[in-house]
Amino acid sequence: MANKPVDQEFLEYLVKSIVDHPDDVKIDRKVDEMGVLLDLKVHQEDMGMLIGRQGSTAKAIRTLLRIIGARHNARVNLKIEEPEGSTRPQRERTRDMDEVVEDLKQL
């Protein structure tokens, strides 16, 4: 088996250390004129851990990948694929300004 590029190997090690289903981690690497794109797929149950609160874990992983890319003169981007069959919970509708003003008038 050929050696994996440093960025892909790093991402694989990092993600497998975080998730509960390391055997389901799949990384596809594409290189074009825009740089390197790492396409990450994980088990459906691991998405929450991978993304983190308000995306903090995913943001940190992307930052580390950019640092590795800079050391190797490449722009590295990460795309996290949503697993098959996953559904995002619907966000509650936010109230508009008129509704808030009406509520305040009733006080």
Tens digits of per-residue pLDDT, 53-100? 999 999 999 999 999 999 989 899 999 998 776 655 555 667 778 888
How many domains is the chain built from?
A: 1
With respect to residue 106, please indicate whether it lies within any of the assigned structural domains: no
| Statement: residue 106 has pLDDT above 70 | yes
Q: How far apart are CA 8 and CA 84, in angstroms?
A: 23
With respect to residue 65, please indicate whether it lies within any of the assigned structural domains: yes
With respect to residue 51, please indicate whether it lies within any of the assigned structural domains: yes
Task: Find out whether 79 and 38 touch, Cβ atoms under 8 Å.
Answer: yes
Q: How far apart are CA 27 and CA 41, in angstroms?
A: 6
With respect to residue 91, please indicate whether it lies within any of the assigned structural domains: no
Domain CATH for 46: 3.30.300.20
With respect to residue 68, please indicate whether it lies within any of the assigned structural domains: yes
Task: Find out whether 19 and 46 touch, Cβ atoms under 8 Å.
Answer: yes
| Residue 69 lies in domain | 6-84
With respect to residue 93, please indicate whether it lies within any of the assigned structural domains: no
The confidence score (pLDDT) of residue 88 equals 58
